[in-house]
Copies of this chain bind each other. A is one copy, B any other.
Amino acid sequence: MTTAQRPTLEAVAARAGVSRATVSRVVNGSTTVAEPIREAVTRAVAELGYVPNLAARSLVTQRTDSVALVMPEAATRVFSDDQVFPGIIRGVSQELEAADKQLVLMLAGSPAGHHRVERYTTGRHVDGVLFASLHGADPLPGTLARLGIPVVVSGRPLGDVPVPYVDVDHVAGVTAAIRHLIDSGRRRIATIAGPQDMVAGIERLSGYRSAVADAGLPELIAVGDFTRESGSAAMRQLLTEHPDLDAVFAASDLMAHAALRTLREAGRRVPEDVAVVGFDDIETAAYTEPPLTTVRQPIVELGRRMTRQLLRLAAGETIEQAVMLPTELIRRASA
Contacts and interface: CB of A to CB of B under 8 A. Distances in A.
Nearest to A97: B113
B287 A258 contact: yes
A283 interface: yes
A104 B106 contact: no
A103 interface: yes
Contact of A289 (B52, B83, B289): B289
B283 A228 contact: yes
Contacts of A206: none
B283 A80 contact: yes
A103 B102 contact: no
A81 interface: yes
Given A51-B123, A97-B116, A123-B54, A90 B77 contact: yes
Interface residues of A, number: 58
A166 B83 CA distance: 26
Nearest to A149: B3
Interface string A236-249: 00000000000000
A82 interface: yes
Contact of A106 (B103, B106, B228): B103
A89 B88 CA distance: 14
Q: How many copies does the complex hold?
A: 2
B80 A76 contact: no
A277 to B, nearest CB: 18
Nearest to A261: B287
A119 interface: yes
A76 B104 contact: no
A89 B103 contact: no
Nearest to A59: B55
A107 interface: yes
Contacts of A122: 51
A166 to B, nearest CB: 19
A86 interface: yes
A119 B73 CA distance: 30
18 contacts: A1-B316, A51-B122, A54-B123, A55-B59, A59-B59, A76-B86, A76-B90, A79-B86, A81-B81, A81-B283, A89-B105, A102-B104, A102-B106, A104-B104, A104-B105, A228-B283, A257-B287, A289-B289
Given A77-B90, A86-B86, A257-B287, 19 more contacts: A51-B122, A51-B124, A56-B59, A73-B90, A73-B93, A80-B283, A81-B81, A81-B82, A81-B83, A81-B284, A93-B106, A94-B109, A97-B116, A102-B104, A102-B106, A102-B120, A104-B105, A105-B105, A261-B287
